[in-house]
Structure 1
């Protein structure tokens, strides 16, 4: 017994020493959950579909126009209508994802686009090609809505900005692949080149069909169905610790209106858990939800109305206007645009959770305004001179690259991150659907009107117009969008409802966290 007491005393002393040593150790930063990253990557593969279509159409439309003998108006409609068709997919996706789950909605998106891409590649004429784009557009709409929703719901709080920027990363990767596809197939006969370009977009759908088998369902959707045991198992896999998983589960249960004492695998759920009544709450919103709607729809509106699709989709025409007459050199210049967009979107993913949403967003918009003004000025100078002006040509190329770089480092990814994280749990799927709808409508309008716009007010005037709208966007972002970095999804609603006075709510949240101590750092609060 004496030996046992001595051994216990030694163990106790060692534990006390370890505890004292630990007191002086700096707190370790939680490691990024690799499983959550893998799930986000698989879900966001759907975003490649839109990016590839934007990139490939910038070059394919010239081949299509020559092969099918189409007018500029028909080409503009062909390029822009996919965005309008995607409204159908995004509108259906909110209800579908609440019905069959986020995971299988991702699969559905890929299947629909797969069919659309094949139809476009096999199209014998303009009418059949438009039908293929109609089908593909529905698939794009599904993907645009479900990728950010699934990713934001599976992400740990500290890595949410990093992971929910993945949809925009994959859009940019898709654009780059589209540009590379243009260049790769440009040597083929005119009637074959554009068909291969468009049909190649079916490949990401095959990757989705295989990869989705490894994806778990969204824990927030599982809780909404009353499947708490399944949700807990997913949270254990996608959180940085067991403690964080438990905190996330408690926050989701509170947001879903499920009593904290219920921990069974299956609990009764209300009808609203399947999405019913949500539109009523969006049509007659509380002050907080109204502010959230204005912020989410506003950021989607300004992302597109500032002309990024005109720069990306019509970059070959911009370069041709600037004086690059070789078609091969034009395609190579567009590949450079794709590389710049991709590089800067990767930089943005690592800055979102370190710098915050607002600083990146405001810097991004400021840089875009500067580049649009310079691009407009350079194109105006070129327009008013008969001879080629080398410095103006160089300025055009540099400013196009600047524009896509500033877009990709802030406005591009933050639009999807921000709009998918600020909606309350029960309104998230339909709220994101509304944001996607606004995004695609404005994108379609900008895409279809650019050629007519620059003929009406000159190409330089078009970019001056986009710059003026960019100034309004900067003011809107500065006054109406609170910082959401480090906030749990369930405490977002507290930040909204004050409109331009949101800083007061932000200060109250900081005070409350200090009062509760660091141990409650990741604990959500719902009003």
Structure 2
């Protein structure tokens, strides 16, 4: 069961990443086939992120009401429907609607997969299992770039999208045989089922000790379902930390840079579609390989050191690209220097924010607010991603790439300060221990 849960993390991440990667290759052909304007293309890119932001806001309450497993299954079905609608689109409205539905599916995936895994997996492998979501997200991005490159000759953008049905169907089928979250079962007053669910992913000793700790927890105020609990003493400290991480992770510009990197490289001097596309594939491959390294380190080095290292390096890479664009003009030198900067940025993002974000958000939130806190944090994450994608080229038109990269560098520097100061280390600690760290403010 633990391996099946890990497979779900992999497939869920792949769905999200593929959605990011495939649009880069498909959009060029969608533009001519569907007679799209520039603003319509921007909205189609942002539609998945906008739909995702809506889904993350409602995903937490849904996961609390019907369970983590049921929400997981729904997310896969919704994503598959969105893929079919997009691939069958006859015009802008159909494509936009399909992308919005895909976004809702992806948004549910981003909240329920980490939420499910963090509540089901033993502490010793929790970090690696949750970060597999991020690893296969990067694999999905790379796969999207490669599929776009493969279909570049035919321009069959509908086939590009249809290929996403394979991981979507596998995601749903695997989800059917997974155990329910033992922590959700305890919240619903079903202790026997919770013990049985724990036994499917934990050793006998871990099952008993974890079950006893869960059974001993009580919600004295009976307010676990109230949104206002997010701002209650003790809880609010963890909530604002998760919210800040969610916002700052998108203010690194990662999704925007990954979706526009072909355009950025082309306008920096790597003109000619093939060179720019191959540059994008290089960035995607780097993202995937370095995430594997982060996966190995996450439960050995810890969350906090990797996040500090990653944000520091990403700040330097963004500042480097800003200086390159400030002092040089578009040319082969600027193009390759920008490619080097993007690769450096992706290396440090993958080893830090990319590998840590889902784990940090899900681990720091106490059980009573975990689902709703994750919903708000990931809603903010998705909304910030959509807004940044929608305005990035406008920022470039006003301040140039130098100004755009400079602003992102400042945001990542602030992220580094958050990692250094308020974020606790959670490596190898049970969720109940982490919860005590934050609730001590209210009860200590």
Match 1:238 to one of 189, 201, 211? 201
**CA displacement at 1:429 relative to structure 2:** 1.1
Following the alignment from structure 2 to structure 1, what is the Cα–Cα distance between the partners of residues 50 and 225?
26
Match 2:134 to one of 168, 171, 179? 168
Match 1:184 to one of 120, 132, 150? 150
Asked if residue 310 in structure 1 is aligned to residue 256 in structure 2, the reply is: yes
Q: Is the 8 Å Cα contact of residues 318 and 409 (structure 2) preserved in structure 1?
A: yes
Q: Is the 8 Å Cα contact of residues 235 and 369 (structure 2) preserved in structure 1?
A: no
Q: Is the 8 Å Cα contact of residues 368 and 407 (structure 1) preserved in structure 2?
A: yes
Match 1:229 to one of 177, 189, 192? 192
Alignment match, 1:365: 311
Match 1:206 to one of 154, 158, 169? 169
Q: List alignment gaps of at least 5 residues for structure 1.
A: 1-34, 259-269, 500-504, 506-525
Q: Alignment RMSD, CA only?
A: 2.1
Asked if residue 487 in structure 1 is aligned to residue 438 in structure 2, the reply is: no
After TM superposition, the structure 1 stretch with the greater mean CA deviation from structure 2, 422-431 or 351-360, is 422-431
Following the alignment from structure 1 to structure 2, what is the Cα–Cα distance between the partners of residues 379 and 56?
28
Match 1:115 to one of 74, 81, 106? 81
Match 1:75 to one of 41, 46, 49? 41
Alignment match, 2:269: 323
Alignment match, 2:391: 449
Following the alignment from structure 1 to structure 2, what is the Cα–Cα distance between the partners of residues 254 and 399?
51
Following the alignment from structure 2 to structure 1, what is the Cα–Cα distance between the partners of residues 439 and 389?
34
SS of equivalent residue, structure 1 residue 485: coil
Following the alignment from structure 1 to structure 2, what is the Cα–Cα distance between the partners of residues 427 and 40?
24
Alignment match, 2:64: 98
After TM superposition, the structure 1 stretch with the greater mean CA deviation from structure 2, 367-376 or 212-221, is 212-221
Q: Which has the larger radius of gyration?
A: 1
**CA displacement at 1:271 relative to structure 2:** 7.9
If asked which structure has higher relative contact order (CA below 8 Å, sep 6+), I would say 2
| CA deviations over 1:210-263 (Å, ceiling 9, x no partner) | 212331111111222222222222222212x321111111222223459xxxxx
SS of equivalent residue, structure 2 residue 77: helix
| CA deviations over 1:240-298 (Å, ceiling 9, x no partner) | x321111111222223459xxxxxxxxxxx986xxx6331312x411x21110111010
Match 1:415 to one of 357, 378, 383? 357
Alignment match, 1:279: 227
Residues matched between the structures, number: 444
Following the alignment from structure 2 to structure 1, what is the Cα–Cα distance between the partners of residues 296 and 326?
37
Q: Is the 8 Å Cα contact of residues 375 and 399 (structure 1) preserved in structure 2?
A: yes
Q: Is the 8 Å Cα contact of residues 179 and 334 (structure 1) preserved in structure 2?
A: yes
Alignment match, 1:266: none
Alignment match, 1:400: 342
Matches within 5 A, 1:339-358: 339-358=285-304
| CA deviations over 1:315-344 (Å, ceiling 9, x no partner) | 101110222222122222211111111111
Alignment match, 1:512: none
**CA displacement at 1:44 relative to structure 2:** 4.5
Following the alignment from structure 1 to structure 2, what is the Cα–Cα distance between the partners of residues 379 and 200?
37
Following the alignment from structure 2 to structure 1, what is the Cα–Cα distance between the partners of residues 164 and 401?
31
| CA deviations over 1:130-175 (Å, ceiling 9, x no partner) | 1111211111111111010001011111222111112212211211
| Closer/same/farther in 2, CA of residues 416 and 68 from structure 1, 3 Å limit | same
Q: Is the 8 Å Cα contact of residues 54 and 104 (structure 2) preserved in structure 1?
A: yes
| Closer/same/farther in 2, CA of residues 310 and 380 from structure 1, 3 Å limit | farther
- Structure 2-normalised TM-score? 0.95
